[in-house]
Structure formats: structure tokens, C-alpha cells
């Protein structure tokens, strides 16, 4: 009797998934990427939609997630030309920009600067999915979703130490579900700035998957700005593999998504590497914004320095899960994680959950979390200097955000991140 | 020899409470059915409400599944292979200690809990539970003069049925979780404490639980009620003999604090933890929860967890009354293949409620020690505050320490602060102490004890020393 | 500088205040005229810092009784920021660190809020930077201070100098300096004291809260008050401070308590 009930429930879930506009608008698997597409769909067939009982989806507004799958999938097919309409900043940019927008080949009539080469189909075949494997996230639902609709991949090899910063703009389409996938191979000793901007449109959904392998002694400064609007949703998985002695600095800002979810998966594969993570998620209205990060140290003497901040106002919900795994091999790891959250409205909600799994004994790990209002002492200090309550709040919030925003790579400034963030908070 | 090897040796010391008392025991046959529950209830001559409570819980339990979210990874327990009631053979409960089987008194003597009038601890009243029944409660009369009720729960069921009926299962409902439901269906004995209005309990109350038989499950039930402006400090201690099978211990503790009252509940848990290969030991799956019902009431949990093969325990506070206070102070030491998953839940419901969590985990050998906690600020908990601190210490490179603090806030005028760290005893620190003439063992012991200081300070004075000694014992007898 | 005809800047009468329902001030009376420098001394817990926080309007401190008039106006009904704007300044004993907020911007917004109150033209960032640099010289402070976050990573002495810098910018009528001398080495103390002396004018007044004589060697007070048990136990000239330095507080406290003892 009990068993039968479970079966019915399972069927009901998978049914609704098969009924979704997204699923039904997926083209038949074909081409070089057919295997990946099939693999993704088989997994989704098996699992269905995420359930509340899955730890990874416990706090998620699942109805909002499934509504994103009621948008039809839009194949990113260059023959299917649609006019570009992307709000790019007008200010000059001392780097190199690629725009991935439905209907366009990002590399069409683009001369890649020295140090950047496109990966051939044969190379891609060997590389695609490798970092995901390394980060043990092949079985993640969001990865399977992206696999299911991987029809184009932008693959680049990056080599050199005097490279222009790369700005990658990922665009969405109104009333459609789009998917983008990027593979970056950063060669040994390369120094490189990457700034990704993911833009939402009204009633849009965007699935993004990045795999980046950072070679030994390489240094990558990675920025992530995900800016949504009205009824927009996105979910991205950034899988990063760090080779020995590499340095990876990541800063992210997420705002304006009805449903936004960023999954960072990082593995330091041979130790002696350093990772610095900075994140800011600002939720307003009825938005739900999630940031999950997992870092695993597969070698000794790795360093992690992580600061995640959130501001939640109105009726919004902000979620952070930060997992740190230190297996036995990772002796002399030093990891620190701090989650600082501002809950500014009566009806807003914040969930934060650091997770530490430590087996090695010679490690230094600290983590901390706070959820509060702006600090009374700080507000009072400002008031006592004659600053109005409103100005004090504004200054403090600005300072609060600035600490993250200033760590974005250079080109971050031209996107007016800070002023945009504080609007309406 | 490297210091970590030495440390490894230090933490593997024999269990000194592992003896078995040879006493004739009355046991019912193995297995759990509705009839078994009726049998337990009739053996205890229980009123009807309690039988109904048990049966209701049993029906719920049948529908529930054993949880596995704590990833504790233990072999499935066969619930039909457990004896649900065992009692040392004696005629009813004894009116005086003289009539108690001397073997039992001797057992408790050996455990350091003398019960006889001449030797018993001054200023601590003890309720001693042997397998499924309470065999003696000391200082009962003296307590009664103040209106304090301290007796076994079986006695309370018969003598104060209205109190038991009013409060039993109100903090931990009988369908709360798999083990709580099982306990509600079959609980055998445990302690009952009632502190009337305005009374400060004149002495420490203590229960001592001893599992003697190898194949029984221990399901004790404790209920503590503090009326308005009452206060009490209660301590629970436990040991078990060494058997190579696993024994199930699934207790439920419910605390109820009314206006301006305070309950302090301390545990020193030293159940048998199995041998170095992880054979045998107690499965300690307990549900402990306190409810601060009244304004400004306070519930404080302190625990020193050193035993059991597996511990699964989250003493929690429901902070309902305005301005009520919850505290959780914990030391958990695991060694060999022990697994401990422990922590607390602080559920802030009322305004201006405050909670403090201090957790110290020490893992040695191949053990796994996890802190799992929840701090929740409900929509009405304006002005509520929480401070948590979770520190882990690792000894040897095969032990693991995990931390899972869940934090959830729905109240902007509440503040939550969580801090955690992981460290080990560094060679530099050891060297520094040794270079000042302190022996290796003592240096380790000093550092572990220093690491746990914040928690030991919270234990009642009589037991702080005992806890320190217990840790030192686990870490070889350099101190005691 | 005592001038009986000078304006009455601050008048405290029978002030009672508490923190967390704990009564701390139990009837403080004090009058301060323009041009005067007052020192309040007393041991830890005597209520000195509470007095300063109450005057600045800290929300955790509740006034249960009494009055405070600032230039004839009820000070206690005013919000803390308004008090600052009309010229009441508190130099904190432990200035709070505010990571991420630029010190320069903080100083500018603060200064302009005072200027607005005084109906003086507000300063744009360039003009302000000029002003602030001139004031930095007064305190021999490194301009690098301006680049940093408010008090973040400042040493104890740097924090105190930052407080005096704010005083120099806000040009208050009445300043309370709470233990400004603690945590300062002797050179820093001289610099801070010189700054305070420079800022002290015949139309302004200063209340120094201190433990030690050494600040009073640098800034000579007109009056010295000794606090204990939430009251002012004794008032005298600068010689009282010297006496306290020699014989401690005990005799004074005993003197004040003994009549109450049975």
C-alpha cells in the first residue's frame, strides 16, 4: 500500500516533467553532442523534477523552478537569425568581448586576439565533461538539464601572460528557455581576467554551464554578474578544476532574478593552490536567489578564503550553502568561510548553511555566519556625526556591497554594478 | 614515535565500566507486537490513558521509516530481535534500600554512585535505573518537604497520573520521529521531576542509567516540569557492560519550563562504545527537547558525550515564552570507530528570546564527529538573538569532523551569529608546554581540557570534575 | 577659562539613567559654561561613560529622570544625529570599525550635515579634501587614513586621532572626550592634546572623561568632578585631580558613603 503510493507520486512528478514545454520543444538528439544530450535526458527521466526532500533543493521554491520549464527551448542556431538587442554598456572597454546570444555564432566575424584559440571538435570531444567529472557533479540535476540541451559549445584555449581581459556576455530571450555552455582551458602559467555577464529578459530562463581547467601556476581572476529583470530565471553551474599552485579568484554579484541559482564547484586537484571566493546576492520583491558553493581539496596546502554576503528585502528569500571538503590527503589546508547576511525587511527570509567535512588533522578551518540588521553601533556612530538615518543606511549598505563589488575584475565597473544594486533596497 | 601516534595510543584506553552484574532478571520474550505493549503496560499496572498513549504511538511507529539522513551508516536494527522489558527480579519496588538486592547496590557502588544511606552523595538526590526499572531514589522525603516530586516515571504514573497525563508527549509528540514513537510505545522507566511554583530545588537531582542485559533495548522516558518561578538542576549519567552485540537505547526527555522558571539538564554519557574494531557498543538514538512555555523561562542543556558506538542526539529548545532563554553546551569525544552526530535546535518563536550554543567536538582514531544544528528565527521573534560557537579538534589523520549549522531567519529584527573553527593540537604548543617541564600526556590533557573549558564551566560543580576525569580517562589516565 | 557671564552651554539636573534595566546614573548635576574645560574622573563603573552615551543619545541608555539642557534647549528629546548637527560631539572610548565604508566619504557626509545646520555652504569632494588635509596636519595624521575604511584596522592611537579629526571638522560647541587618552603613547597624547587645545575656544566647552592625571597635564581643566555610585561626589579645581592621583578614589568614596551606613 505504501509502496504503491510512492510509485504514483513518482509518476506524477515525471509526468509533469515530460509535459513541460521545455522538454517537448527539445530537438531530437543529434550531431557531435548527441551522446551528451541523451545522457542528460536519461538522467532526467530517471530522477524527474527535484523534490523538497532532496537536501540540495530543500529551501527552493520548486513551483517557480518548474514554471521556468514551461518556456519553450530556443535552439541557439546561427541560421535562425534574430536581431541582437543587448543592453551593452557604452563606455569603452580595454578588452575583448564575446556575446553569446540566441541566433548568433559568438565567433562569427571575430578575430580572436593572440593567446586565444578555438578548440576543435576533436579536442572538445575529449575535454567536454571532464571537469564536471572531476568536480563530481555529473549527477547534478542542473548539469543534466544543461547536458540535455547542449547543442553548441564555445571552447577556448587560453595561453599567455599579457592577455586582454575577456568579457563574455550571455544573453537571454523573452518568453524562451536558452542554454549556453562554455569550456575554457587555461594553460599553465597563464594570467587571465574573465568577466561573465548573464542578462535576464522578462519571462526568460537561462541554463548555463562553464567548465574551466586552470593549469599549474596559472592565475585567473573571474567575475560573474548575473542581472535579471522582472520574471526572469537562471541557473548556472561553474565547474572549476585547479591544477597545482594555481590561483583562482572569483567574485560574483547576483540580483534581480525571480529565480536565480548559482552553483560553484571547485576542486583543487593537486594542492598548493589558492582560491578566493567573494559573492553578493541581493534579493528584492518576491525574488529567490541561491548561491551554493562546494570546494574540495584533493591535495595538500590548499588555501580558501571565502566571503559570501546577502541582502534580503521585501518578501524575498536568499539562500546560501557553502560546503568545504578536506579529505585526508589535504594536510595543511587553510580554509576560511564567512557568510554575512542582512535581513532588512519583516517578510524577507534568509537560509544559510555552511558545511565542513574534515578528515585531515593538520588543517586550519574556520567558518562563520551572521544574520542581522545593520549594526546598531555603526548606525549610531554615523547618527552621532549628524548623518541622517537614511544616509547612514545608504552609506552602510554601499560599504557592505562595495567590499564585494570592488573585487570584480576591471570591466565590472562599466556595468554600474553598485548603483544598480542599491536601487530600491 | 611521532606525537600523533602517541596521541592515538593515548585515546585508546579500556572501558572500566564493562562488567556484568550477575543477577536474576525477568525478561519478556523478544519482539514487538501490540500484545507486548499491553503486557508491558499491565506489568506496570498502568492507567488506561497511558496504554492508549502507547498504542497510538505504536500505530504511528508502524507507519514510519527509520531515518538515515544523518549518514550514520549502521547495520539495520532488527526490531523483532530486541527484548522490550527486563527487570532485576525483586518483589515490587522496595520501601527502603535495605530490601534492595545487595548486588544491585554493589553495582552502583562500583559505578561510583553509592545509594546506601551512609555512603550516598551529599546534596545530590539519585534515581538509579537498572535495565528497565528504577530501583531506588534517594532523598525522596527531604525533597517532598519542599513539595518537589522526584521519582521514577512508573511511580509518577500511578501516584500523580493527572500531572503525567497533562504533560507527557506535549513537547515530543508520540509521532515526532521514528525513535520517539518507538520510545512512546514501549518506554519502561525513567525519571519524573515536578518543581512547584516558586520553589528552588534544594539539591541537585540525578538519574543514573545502567544497561546490564545484552539483548534488551533501553527506552527510558524523562519528564521534568518547572512551575512558575521554580528552578532545578538535573544530571543524568549512564554506563553499560561490554557486549559484542549492539544494544539500542532510545530515550525521550521532555522539559517544560513555565514563567520565570529555569531547568538545567546535564548529561555525562559514557555508554559502552564498542571495541577498536567497532564491534559492539550502544546505539544511542535519543530525543531531548525542552519547551520554554513561560515568559523569561530558561532551559540549559549541557552534555559530555564520550560513549556509545553511535550517538544521534539533538537536545533542543523551543523558545516560546517572551524573553525566554535556551542554552546548549556540549563536549563530544569520539574515538576508534565511534560516530557521533549531535547538536541542537534552537527554535525562536517568542520575541526577545535568546540562545547560546557552544559545541566542542574532539575526534580521534577513525571516528566521525559531526555537529548538526538548527537556529531558526520565526516571524514573531523580534529582538531575538543567537550566538553559536562550534569548534572541532582532530587527533590523528583518520578522524573526521563535520559541521552542519543550519541557519534560518524570517525576522529582520533578530540577529544570529555563528562561528566555527577546526584545529588540532599543534606540535609547537606541545613543545612549548613540554619545554616548561610538563609531561606529554599532561600537556595533551591540559590542551583538551582547555579546549572544553567553556562547556565544563557549565556543568554542576559536583560533575565538572567527573567530566574532566572521564575525558582524561579516555585520553589515558594522566590526570586521574 | 572661567567667565561667569559666559553662556550656559550645558545644564544637567538630577539625571538618572539605566542600561538593560540596570540603573547607572543616580542623580547627576552639572553646569558647563562657554569657554570652560571640565574633567570627570572616577573609577571603572562609576558611570562616566554612561554619562557620555546619554548625552550623545545612545539608544541602549534609558533616561528615567532628570533634565539636560543644551543652550537652553531640551537635549534628551533630540535624535543623536540632530544632537551632532547642533554641535554636541562625543569622542568615543572605543570607536567602532565599519568595514567597507570609506573614511573620507564618511567624514564628508558628516561635515556637510553640520554645515547644513549652520547654514554654511556644503563642500564638494574637492573642497572637502582640501579642508580635511589641512586638519590632518593639525593632528600629524597620514593622508592614507582617508583611503581606508572607517576605523578598520586602525591602531588604538589611530582611532583616537580619527576621533579628534572629526571633532576638528565638525567644530562642535560642546565636546565630550571619553577616555581619549587611553591607548595613546605619550607622543600621541601630546599631539591629541595639542589638537584639543587648538580647538578649544571661548565660545565652546569641553568635557574630558579620564582615569588618569596624564591627560590633565596636557589640557588644564577649569573644574574637576569625581564620579562614583552614579553621582558626582566632589567638584574642585585642577588641584583635585592631583590629589586623586596621589591618594586614589577610596577616601572620597568612603566619605560620601559613610553617612549612609547604619
State how far Cα B176 lies from the chain centre.
18
What pLDDT score was predicted for residue B442? 62
Q: Which residue has the higher pLDDT, B171 or C107?
A: B171
Tell me whether residue B116 is in a domain: yes
Please tell me whether residue B296 adopts helix, strand or coil conformation: coil
Tell me whether residue A343 is in a domain: yes
Does the pLDDT of residue A34 top 50, yes or no? yes
CB contact (8 A) between residue B421 and residue A363:
no
Does the pLDDT of residue A81 top 60, yes or no? no
Domain with B270 in it: 3-474
State how far Cα B466 lies from the chain centre.
15
What pLDDT score was predicted for residue B479? 25
CB contact (8 A) between residue B408 and residue A351:
yes
- Contacting residues of A for C85, CB less than 8 Å apart: 386
* Contact predicate B251/B222, CB 8 Å: yes
CB contact (8 A) between residue A378 and residue C105:
no
Does the beta carbon of A311 lie under 8 angstroms from any beta carbon of chain C? no
What pLDDT score was predicted for residue C58? 85
Does the pLDDT of residue B267 top 90, yes or no? no
- Contacting residues of B for A352, CB less than 8 Å apart: 407
Start-to-end CA distance of chain B, whole Å, equals: 24
CB contact (8 A) between residue A380 and residue C59:
yes
* Contact predicate A346/A316, CB 8 Å: no
Q: 3-state SS of chain A: helix, strand, coil percent to 5?
A: 25, 35, 40
What pLDDT score was predicted for residue B168? 94
Mean pLDDT of A106-123: 88
Does the pLDDT of residue A87 top 90, yes or no? no
Q: Where are the beta strands (DSSP E) in A215-246?
A: 219-227, 232-242
Q: Which residues of A touch B (CB under 8 A)?
A: 2, 55, 328, 331, 341, 343-373
Does the pLDDT of residue B294 top 60, yes or no? yes
Using CA coordinates, name the residue in chain B closest to A369.
Answer: B418
Q: Which residue has the higher pLDDT, B320 or B445?
A: B320
Nearest to B399 among A346, A361, A369 (CB): A361
Task: Please tell me which chains touch A, using 3 or more CB pairs under 8 Å as the contact test.
Answer: B, C
Residue A207's DSSP bridge partners are A179, A235
CB contact (8 A) between residue A395 and residue C105:
yes
Residue-range domains of chain C with CATH: 8-96+172-260 (3.40.50.300)
Does the pLDDT of residue A148 top 50, yes or no? yes
Q: What does the pLDDT look like over B393-427, one tens digit per residue?
A: 888 778 889 999 999 999 988 999 998 888 777 66
What pLDDT score was predicted for residue B209? 75
What pLDDT score was predicted for residue B439? 64
Q: What does chain B come to in residues?
A: 480
* Contact predicate B459/B304, CB 8 Å: yes
Q: Which residue has the higher pLDDT, A70 or B115?
A: A70
Q: What does the pLDDT look like over B433-450, one tens digit per residue?
A: 665 656 666 667 667 777
CA distances from B81 to A127, B57, B64, B245 (A): 54, 20, 18, 12
Tell me whether residue B400 is in a domain: yes
- Contacting residues of B for A353, CB less than 8 Å apart: 404-407
Tell me whether residue A126 is in a domain: yes
Tell me whether residue B422 is in a domain: yes
Does the pLDDT of residue B8 top 80, yes or no? no
What pLDDT score was predicted for residue A317? 95
* Contact predicate B111/B208, CB 8 Å: yes
Using CA coordinates, name the residue in chain B closest to A347.
Answer: B410
Please tell me whether residue B103 adopts helix, strand or coil conformation: helix
Q: What does the pLDDT look like over A290-315, one tens digit per residue?
A: 999 999 999 999 999 999 999 999 99
- Contacting residues of B for A360, CB less than 8 Å apart: 394, 397
pLDDT band per the 50, 70, 90 thresholds, residue A7: very low
Tell me whether residue A366 is in a domain: yes
CB contact (8 A) between residue C109 and residue A387:
yes
CB contact (8 A) between residue B412 and residue A348:
yes
Does the pLDDT of residue B143 top 60, yes or no? yes
Q: What does the pLDDT look like over A196-245, one tens digit per residue?
A: 999 999 999 999 999 999 999 999 999 999 999 889 999 999 999 999 99
Closest-CA distance, A120 to chain B, in angstroms, reads 43
- Contacting residues of A for B407, CB less than 8 Å apart: 350-353, 369, 371
pLDDT band per the 50, 70, 90 thresholds, residue B259: very high
Q: What does the pLDDT look like over B363-404, one tens digit per residue?
A: 888 888 999 999 999 999 999 999 999 999 888 778 889 999
CA distances from B332 to B71, B163, B232, B339 (A): 18, 34, 24, 10
CB contact (8 A) between residue A359 and residue B399:
yes
Does the pLDDT of residue C125 top 80, yes or no? yes
Tell me whether residue B479 is in a domain: no
What pLDDT score was predicted for residue A10? 38
Please tell me whether residue C169 adopts helix, strand or coil conformation: helix
Does the pLDDT of residue B299 top 90, yes or no? yes
What pLDDT score was predicted for residue A253? 95
Other beta carbons within 10 Å of B67: 12
DSSP letter string, B383-434 = T-EEEEEEEEEE-STT-EEEEEEEEEE--TT-EEEEEEEEEE--HHHHHHHH
Q: Which helix (H) or strand (E) holds C68?
A: strand C61-70
C-alpha B52/C-alpha B165 separation (Å) is 11
Q: What does the pLDDT look like over A358-387, one tens digit per residue?
A: 888 788 888 889 898 888 888 999 999 999
C-alpha A353/C-alpha A340 separation (Å) is 11
Does the pLDDT of residue C38 top 90, yes or no? yes
Chosen for mutation from A330, A361, A362 (greatest number of chain B CBs closer than 10 Å) is A361
Interface size A-C, in CB pairs within 8 Å, comes to 76
Q: Do chains B and A touch (3 or more CB pairs under 8 A)?
A: yes
Does the beta carbon of C105 lie under 8 angstroms from any beta carbon of chain A? yes
The total number of structural domains that make up chain B:
1
Chosen for mutation from C80, C116, C176 (greatest number of chain A CBs closer than 10 Å) is C80
For chain A, positions 375-414, list CB contacts with chain C under 8 A. Answer: 375-378, 380-389, 391-392, 395-396, 398-403
What pLDDT score was predicted for residue C92? 87
What pLDDT score was predicted for residue B217? 76
Alpha-helical regions (H) of B233-328: none
For chain A, positions 43-62, list CB contacts with chain C under 8 A. Answer: none
Tell me whether residue B480 is in a domain: no
Does the pLDDT of residue A55 top 70, yes or no? yes
C-alpha A35/C-alpha A29 separation (Å) is 8
The total number of structural domains that make up chain A:
1
Chosen for mutation from C106, C108, C111, C132 (greatest number of chain A CBs closer than 10 Å) is C106
If you compute the radius of gyration of chain B from its CA atoms, what whole number of angstroms results?
22
Residue C12's DSSP bridge partners are C30, C68
Q: Which of A7-21, A142-156, A344-358, B198-212 has the lowest mean pLDDT?
A: A7-21
What pLDDT score was predicted for residue B247? 79
Cell matching residue B20:
556484568
* Contact predicate B416/A372, CB 8 Å: yes
CB contact (8 A) between residue A343 and residue B398:
no
| Average predicted confidence (pLDDT) for chain A | 88
Q: Do chains B and C touch (3 or more CB pairs under 8 A)?
A: no
C-alpha B7/C-alpha A388 separation (Å) is 59
Tell me whether residue B339 is in a domain: yes
Q: Which residue has the higher pLDDT, B306 or A189?
A: A189
C-alpha B323/C-alpha B417 separation (Å) is 18
Does the beta carbon of B399 lie under 8 angstroms from any beta carbon of chain A? yes
CA distances from B253 to A47, B149, B296, B339, B375 (A): 39, 17, 21, 22, 20
For chain C, positions 69-88, list CB contacts with chain A under 8 A. Answer: 79-85
CB contact (8 A) between residue A378 and residue C96:
yes
Give this complex's ipTM: 0.74
CB contact (8 A) between residue A380 and residue C85:
no
Domain with A197 in it: 73-422
What pLDDT score was predicted for residue B464? 66
- Contacting residues of A for B69, CB less than 8 Å apart: 55
Q: What does the pLDDT look like over C68-104, one tens digit per residue?
A: 999 999 999 998 888 988 999 999 888 887 776 778 8
* Contact predicate B365/B337, CB 8 Å: yes
Amino acid at each position: 500500500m505504501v509502496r504503491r503510493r510512492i510509485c504514483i507520486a513518482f509518476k506524477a512528478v515525471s509526468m509533469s516533467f515530460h509535459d513541460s514545454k521545455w522538454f517537448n520543444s527539445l530537438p531530437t538528439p543529434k550531431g557531435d553532442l548527441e551522446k551528451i544530450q541523451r545522457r542528460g535526458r536519461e538522467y532526467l527521466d530517471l530522477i524527474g523534477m527535484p523534490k523538497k526532500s532532496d537536501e540540495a533543493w530543500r529551501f527552493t521554491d520548486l513551483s517557480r523552478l518548474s514554471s521556468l520549464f514551461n518556456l519553450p527551448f530556443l535552439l541557439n542556431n546561427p541560421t535562425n537569425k534574430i536581431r541582437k538587442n543587448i543592453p551593452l554598456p557604452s563606455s569603452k572597454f580595454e578588452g575583448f568581448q564575446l556575446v553569446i546570444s540566441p541566433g548568433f555564432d559568438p565567433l562569427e566575424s571575430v578575430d580572436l586576439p593572440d593567446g586565444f584559440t578555438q578548440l576543435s571538435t576533436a579536442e572538445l570531444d575529449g575535454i567536454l565533461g571532464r571537469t564536471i567529472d572531476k568536480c563530481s557533479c555529473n549527477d547534478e540535476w542542473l548539469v543534466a538539464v544543461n547536458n540535455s540541451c547542449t547543442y553548441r559549445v564555445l571552447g577556448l584555449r587560453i595561453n599567455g601572460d599579457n592577455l586582454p581581459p575577456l568579457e563574455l556576455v550571455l544573453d537571454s530571450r523573452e518568453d524562451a528557455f536558452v542554454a549556453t555552455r562554455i569550456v575554457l582551458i587555461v594553460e599553465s602559467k597563464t594570467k587571465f581576467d574573465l568577466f561573465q555577464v548573464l542578462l535576464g529578459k522578462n519571462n526568460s530562463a537561462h541554463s548555463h554551464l562553464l567548465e574551466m581547467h586552470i593549469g599549474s601556476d596559472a592565475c585567473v581572476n573571474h567575475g560573474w554578474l548575473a542581472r535579471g529583470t522582472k520574471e526572469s530565471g537562471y541557473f548556472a553551474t561553474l565547474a572549476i578544476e585547479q591544477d597545482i599552485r594555481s590561483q583562482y579568484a572569483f567574485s560574483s554579484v547576483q540580483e534581480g532574478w525571480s529565480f536565480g541559482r548559482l552553483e560553484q564547484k571547485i576542486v583543487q586537484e593537486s594542492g598548493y593552490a589558492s582560491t578566493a571566493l567573494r559573492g553578493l546576492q541581493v534579493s528584492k520583491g518576491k525574488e529567490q536567489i541561491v548561491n551554493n558553493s562546494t570546494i574540495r581539496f584533493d591535495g595538500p596546502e590548499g588555501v580558501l578564503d571565502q566571503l559570501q554576503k546577502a541582502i534580503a528585502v521585501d518578501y524575498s528569500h536568499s539562500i546560501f550553502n557553502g560546503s568545504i571538503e578536506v579529505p585526508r590527503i589535504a594536510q595543511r589546508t587553510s580554509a576560511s568561510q564567512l557568510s554575512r547576511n542582512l535581513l532588512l525587511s519583516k517578510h524577507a527570509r534568509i537560509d544559510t548553511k555552511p558545511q565542513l567535512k574534515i578528515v585531515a588533522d593538520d588543517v586550519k578551518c574556520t567558518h562563520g555566519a551572521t544574520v542581522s540588521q545593520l549594526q546598531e553601533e555603526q548606525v549610531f556612530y554615523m547618527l552621532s556625526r549628524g548623518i541622517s538615518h537614511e544616509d547612514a543606511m545608504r552609506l552602510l549598505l554601499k560599504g557592505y556591497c562595495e567590499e564585494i563589488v570592488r573585487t570584480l575584475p576591471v570591466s565590472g565597473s562599466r556595468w554600474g554594478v553598485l548603483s544598480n544594486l542599491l536601487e530600491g533596497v | 614515535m611521532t606525537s600523533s601516534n602517541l596521541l592515538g595510543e593515548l585515546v585508546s584506553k579500556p572501558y572500566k565500566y564493562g562488567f556484568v552484574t550477575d543477577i536474576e532478571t525477568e525478561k519478556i520474550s523478544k519482539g514487538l507486537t501490540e500484545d507486548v505493549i499491553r503486557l508491558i503496560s499491565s506489568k506496570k499496572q498502568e492507567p488506561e490513558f497511558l496504554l492508549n498513549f502507547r498504542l497510538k504511538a505504536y500505530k504511528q511507529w508502524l507507519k514510519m521509516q527509520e531515518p538515515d539522513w544523518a549518514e550514520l551508516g549502521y547495520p539495520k536494527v532488527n526490531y523483532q530481535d530486541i527484548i522490550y522489558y527486563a527487570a532485576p527480579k525483586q518483589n515490587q519496588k522496595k520501601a527502603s534500600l535495605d530490601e534492595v538486592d545487595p548486588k544491585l547496590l554493589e553495582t552502583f557502588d562500583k559505578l561510583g554512585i553509592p545509594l546506601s544511606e551512609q555512603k550516598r552523595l551529599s546534596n545530590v538526590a539519585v534515581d538509579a535505573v537498572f535495565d528497565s526499572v528504577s530501583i531506588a531514589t534517594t532523598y525522596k522525603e527531604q525533597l517532598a518537604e519542599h513539595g518537589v516530586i522526584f521519582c521514577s516515571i512508573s511511580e509518577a504514573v500511578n501516584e500523580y497520573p493527572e500531572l503525567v497525563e497533562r504533560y507527557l508527549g506535549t513537547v515530543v509528540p508520540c509521532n515526532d520521529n521514528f525513535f520517539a514513537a518507538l520510545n512512546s510505545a514501549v518506554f519502561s522507566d525513567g525519571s519524573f521531576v515536578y518543581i512547584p511554583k516558586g520553589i528552588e530545588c534544594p539539591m541537585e537531582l540525578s538519574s543514573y542509567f545502567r544497561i546490564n542485559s545484552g539483548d534488551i533495548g533501553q527506552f527510558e522516558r524523562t519528564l521534568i516540569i518547572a512551575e512558575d518561578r521554580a528552578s532545578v538542576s538535573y544530571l543524568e549519567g549512564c554506563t553499560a557492560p561490554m557486549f559484542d552485540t549492539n544494544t539500542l537505547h532510545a530515550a525521550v526527555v521532555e522539559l517544560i519550563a513555565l514563567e520565570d522558571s529555569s531547568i538545567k539538564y546535564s548529561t555525562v554519557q559514557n555508554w559502552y562504545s564498542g571495541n577498536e574494531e567497532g564491534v559492539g557498543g550502544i546505539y544511542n538514538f535519543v530525543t531531548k527537547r525542552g519547551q520554554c512555555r513561560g515568559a523569561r523561562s530558561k532551559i540549559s542543556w549541557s552534555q559530555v558525550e564520550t560513549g556509545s558506538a553511535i550517538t544521534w542526539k539533538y537536545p533542543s529548545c523551543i523558545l516560546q515564552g517572551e524573553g525566554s532563554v535556551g542554552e546548549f553546551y556540549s563536549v563530544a569525544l569520539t574515538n576508534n570507530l565511534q560516530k557521533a552526530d549531535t547538536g541542537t535546535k534552537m527554535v525562536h518563536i517568542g520575541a526577545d528570546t535568546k540562545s547560546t550554543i557552544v559545541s566542542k567536538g574532539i575526534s580521534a582514531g577513525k571516528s566521525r564527529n559531526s555537529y548538526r544544528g538548527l537556529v531558526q528565527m520565526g516571524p514573531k521573534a523580534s529582538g531575538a538573538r543567537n550566538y553559536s560557537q562550534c569548534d572541532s579538534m582532530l587527533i590523528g589523520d583518520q578522524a573526521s569532523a563535520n559541521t552542519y549549522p543550519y541557519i534560518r531567519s524570517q525576522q529582520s529584527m533578530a540577529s544570529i551569529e555563528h562561528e566555527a573553527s577546526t584545529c588540532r593540537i599543534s606540535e609547537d604548543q606541545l613543545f612549548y608546554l613540554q619545554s616548561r617541564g610538563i609531561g606529554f600526556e599532561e600537556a595533551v590533557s591540559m590542551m583538551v581540557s582547555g579546549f572544553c573549558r567553556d562547556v565544563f564551566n557549565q556543568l554542576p560543580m559536583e560533575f565538572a570534575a567527573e567530566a574532566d576525569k572521564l575525558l582524561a580517562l579516555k585520553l589515558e589516565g594522566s590526570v586521574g | 577659562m572661567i567667565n561667569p557671564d559666559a553662556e550656559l552651554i550645558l545644564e544637567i539636573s538630577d539625571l538618572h539613567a539605566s542600561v538593560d534595566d540596570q540603573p547607572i546614573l543616580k542623580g547627576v548635576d552639572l553646569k558647563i559654561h562657554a569657554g570652560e574645560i571640565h574633567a570627570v574622573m572616577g573609577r571603572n563603573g562609576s558611570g562616566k561613560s554612561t554619562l557620555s552615551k546619554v548625552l550623545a543619545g545612545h539608544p541602549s541608555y534609558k533616561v528615567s529622570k532628570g533634565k539636560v539642557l543644551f543652550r537652553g534647549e531640551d537635549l534628551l528629546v533630540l535624535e543623536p544625529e540632530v544632537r551632532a548637527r547642533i554641535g554636541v560631539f562625543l569622542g568615543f572610548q572605543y570607536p567602532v570599525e565599519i568595514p567597507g565604508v570609506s573614511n573620507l566619504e564618511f567624514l564628508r557626509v558628516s561635515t556637510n550635515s553640520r554645515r547644513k545646520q549652520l547654514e554654511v555652504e556644503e563642500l564638494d569632494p574637492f573642497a572637502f579634501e582640501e579642508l580635511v588635509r589641512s586638519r590632518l596636519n593639525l593632528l600629524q595624521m597620514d593622508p592614507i587614513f582617508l583611503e581606508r575604511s572607517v576605523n578598520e584596522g586602525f591602531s588604538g592611537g589611530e582611532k583616537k586621532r580619527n576621533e579628534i579629526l572629526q571633532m576638528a571638522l565638525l567644530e562642535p560647541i560642546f565636546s565630550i572626550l571619553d577616555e581619549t587618552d587611553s591607548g595613546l603613547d605619550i607622543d600621541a597624547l601630546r599631539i591629541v592634546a595639542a589638537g584639543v587645545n587648538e580647538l578649544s575656544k571661548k565660545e565652546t566647552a569641553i568635557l574630558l572623561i579620564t582615569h588618569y592625571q596624564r591627560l590633565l597635564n596636557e589640557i588644564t581643566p577649569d573644574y574637576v568632578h569625581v564620579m562614583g555610585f552614579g553621582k558626582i561626589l566632589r567638584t574642585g579645581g585642577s588641584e583635585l585631580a592631583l590629589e586623586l592621583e596621589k591618594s586614589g578614589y577610596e577616601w572620597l568614596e568612603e566619605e560620601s558613603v559613610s553617612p549612609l551606613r547604619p
